[in-house]
Each structure stands twice: as structure tokens, then as C-alpha cells.
Structure 1
Amino acid sequence: MDQSASVRRPKPTAPQSAFRRQLLLFGLASFIAAPPAFARGGRRASPFSGIDRDNDSTIDLDEAKRAAALLFDHLDRHHTGMLSHAQLGRRRVTAEEFAWADRDHDGTLTKDEYFALVERQFRAADPDNDGTVSRREFYSRAGLPLRRLLY
């Protein structure tokens, strides 16, 4: 029996091919250049803190409308200034809400009509009528339609 066959040679630890080296370098670069979200545990900022610009732990109507305008502009990909029910998404706005907001009955919502709907849902999410929505109110069942319109 050949003695060299029974001797185990240690496997090399360095990558053997150029592809493996590139893969290893890519993995290291991904780890080093990881976004700050991963440093926070991989979580995104909460919707509430993203809307509450003045960090007073409440959302007022102006902050809600600012967030609604950003979402409206994001959804209006063709820059027509109007959104159909399909563009808004069936889960964001119910058919009844869309019909209520569509004042001119043209099948689309302008930004002003969208803001009217946001204001209506804001009032519904503010049961104490203090003009602000607290974190508790925002995450309540009554705040769900408002969350859908803002985030």
C-alpha cells in the first residue's frame, strides 16, 4: 500500500478560482458598505417617526399632508397630477373612500381630493379632537385608514 495515499493533506483555505475570490471580495465589500439600517438591527424607521418631523410625539394635519403629498407624488409616476384607484392600490383606499373623495366623478383623484380624504381620515383617527394624532391613536384601529394614506 502506498503510504502517500493514506496521508491526509490539509485542504487549502484560500479560494482557488478567480470567481471564488471575486465572490469573497463582494461579500466583504457588502459587509463593510452595509447601510446604516443594518446597524440599527435591520429595522426601518417607524412610519410614525418618519411623519413626525418636529419630534413632538404627535402628528398634526400639516405633517400628515406633507407625508401624503410625498406619497401622492411617488405614486403619480406619469406626473399627471391625478391618481386612479388602480394607481392608489385597492388596499390603500376602499371603493367607498375613493367614491367619497372623487368629487368630480372622473375616476381619478387630484392632489386636493386626496388631501380631503387624508383630512377626513385624520379627523377619524383623532378621537379626542385635539388637532393631533398621538402614536397610540396612529397605531389604533381608527388610525389604520390614515396610515394607509400616508405610508
Structure 2
Amino acid sequence: MIGQTRAPTLLAALVIVGFALPAVLPHAAAARSGGSANAMKAIDTDNDGTIDLTEAQAAGGATFERLDKDKDGSVDTKELQGRVSRKEMKTIDPDGDNKIDRKEYDTLVADRFKAADPDGDGKLDAKELKTSAGKNLLKLIK
């Protein structure tokens, strides 16, 4: 008897999911793809549909200020919250104190910008921001 009562309940649940899932999936996809689009709107201050290095560094500067919780003019690995790999940290932190200042952060933003700009036109569009290099840049500027 127990197996017989579960079957209609399971069937009803599957029917409900079957009707609900198609309605939910487009919204989930839009939310996932909206990350770079939302970032673009926030960073693209001249509203030309692209991000140039000046805009990226301005956004990076705002992020740096937000991350610098103790306001000492540098961010350490804890404040960076995983935005910079250990390998990158060694490269941009020559004195090895596990802190980078604003100038070093700007240099890292510029390096990641160049990596995300394979055509070298000095501008990143939404497609370029969706690449691995583009996502790495977004970690620093949003």
C-alpha cells in the first residue's frame, strides 16, 4: 500500500516540476549571463558599449578602495579575497610582504585588461568579458 500512495505523489511532483522548469530556466540563464552585462553597464561610463583601460582602472580603483578595509593604502591577501593568485602575488609583490598598493593594483588591472583584449583594439565588449581572461579582469574591477 505504501508504494501505491507514493507513486501518485511522485507522479504529481514530476508533473509540477515539468510545468515549472521551462518557466524557470530562461530566468536562470538570464541571471547567469547578466553578470558581464551588468558589469558592463556599471563600468562603461561613456555608454559606448565597451570598456576601455581608463574605465577599467577607474572601476579597479573603486574596488581597491572598497577592499582596503583598514585604509592603510594597500591590500593584503585576506583583503583581496581570492582575486589574485599566489603566482600573480609573487610577480606584483616584489618585496614579498603579501600586500600590494594602488599602483601595483592598477598594473595588475592593466595586465588583465591586455589579456582580455586579444584583438588589441583597446576596448572590451561583452563577448570579451565572458572569456576566462575577461572574467579574471572583472574579479579586480567589480
Q: State the TM-score, normalized to the length of structure 1.
A: 0.67
Q: Unpaired runs of 5+ in structure 1?
A: 1-42
Alpha-carbon contact 2:69-2:79 (below 8 Å) kept: no
2:78 matched residue in structure 1: 86
Distance 2:132 2:76 in 1: 26
- Matched position secondary structure for 1:114: helix
- Quick check: which has more Rg, 1 or 2? 1
Alpha-carbon contact 1:103-1:113 (below 8 Å) kept: no
Which letter does structure 1 place at the counterpart of 2:97? D
Q: Does residue 119 of structure 2 align to residue 128 of structure 1?
A: yes
Q: Does residue 106 of structure 2 align to residue 115 of structure 1?
A: yes
1:135, CA displacement in angstroms? 1.2
1:67, CA displacement in angstroms? 0.3
Which letter does structure 2 place at the counterpart of 1:81? G
1:99, CA displacement in angstroms? 1.5
Distance 1:132 1:54 in 2: 12
1:148, CA displacement in angstroms? 0.6
Query: Larger relative contact order (C-alpha < 8 A, sep ≥ 6)?
Result: 2
Distance 2:91 2:135 in 1: 18
Distance 1:134 1:104 in 2: 35
Identity among equivalent pairs (%): 38
Structure 1 runs, 4 residues or longer, greater than 6 Å off = none
Q: Does residue 140 of structure 2 align to residue 149 of structure 1?
A: yes
- Matched position secondary structure for 1:109: strand
Given the alignment, which residue of 98, 103, 109 partners 2:94? 103
Q: How does 1:1-150 map to 2 (within 5 A)?
A: 46-90=38-82, 92-150=83-141
Which letter does structure 2 place at the counterpart of 1:86? K
Alignment deviations for residues 98-149 of structure 1 (CA, whole Å, 9 cap, x no partner): 1112133222000000001000000000000011111110111221110111
Report how many residues are paired: 108
1:63, CA displacement in angstroms? 0.2
Distance 1:131 1:103 in 2: 28
Alpha-carbon contact 2:74-2:99 (below 8 Å) kept: yes
1:77, CA displacement in angstroms? 1.5
Q: Unpaired runs of 5+ in structure 2?
A: 1-33
